[in-house]
């Protein structure tokens, strides 16, 4: 079994904890489903949030999904002028037999514009 990394992002419509839980939960669910993963395949997840998000930790959404024994960490994204606002990004380290080229990176909604080359 190889260690792989999968990326993803979602843009929130507003900075509210419930909305963040919903959108980050949808992102994590899509990453798991599109890559045929279970929580046992997760090694760790890094979350970043743009500086305009203050309502909650994105990792809290993972805990609410039942991802409770996987190391999670949150950090603030760089504050770059003109960058897309209200974005949560993930970098998940996983165990998978899939070749690197077959890993599905997930960019939901408007966040698809961040990586047009790999967004699903």
Which CATH number covers residue 99? 3.30.1330.40
Q: Are 14 and 86 in contact (CB under 8 A)?
A: yes
- Interior/surface letters 99-110, b for 16+ CB within 10 angstroms, e for the rest: eeeebbbbbbeb
**For residue 32, is pLDDT > 80?**
yes
Give residue 115's pLDDT.
76
What is residue 76's three-state secondary structure?
A: strand
Q: Which residues contact 19 (CB under 8 A, 6 or more apart)?
A: 12, 13, 55
Q: How many CB atoms lie within 10 A of CB 39?
A: 14
4 known ligand binder = no
- In a domain, residue 120? The reply is no
Give residue 118's pLDDT.
63
Full residue range of the structural domain in which residue 9 is found = 2-115
Number of structural domains in the chain: 1
- Across 105-109, average pLDDT: 94
Strand partners, 9: 89, 107
100 known ligand binder = no
- pLDDT: is 38 or 120 the higher one? 38
- In a domain, residue 41? The reply is yes
- In a domain, residue 31? The reply is yes
Mean pLDDT over the full length of the chain: 95
What is residue 78's three-state secondary structure?
A: coil
107 known ligand binder = yes
């Amino acid at each position: 079994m190889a260690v792989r990394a999968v990326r993803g992002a979602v843009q929130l419509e507003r900075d509210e904890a419930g909305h963040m839980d919903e959108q980050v939960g949808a992102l994590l669910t899509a990453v798991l489903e599109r890559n045929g993963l279970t929580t046992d395949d997760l090694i760790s997840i890094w979350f970043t949030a743009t500086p305009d998000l203050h309502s909650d930790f994105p990792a809290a959404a993972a805990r609410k999904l039942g991802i409770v024994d996987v190391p999670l960490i949150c950090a603030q994204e760089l504050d770059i002028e003109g960058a897309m606002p209200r974005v949560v990004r993930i970098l998940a380290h996983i165990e998978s037999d899939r070749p690197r080229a077959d890993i599905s990176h997930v960019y939901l909604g408007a966040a698809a514009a961040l990586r047009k080359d790999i967004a699903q």
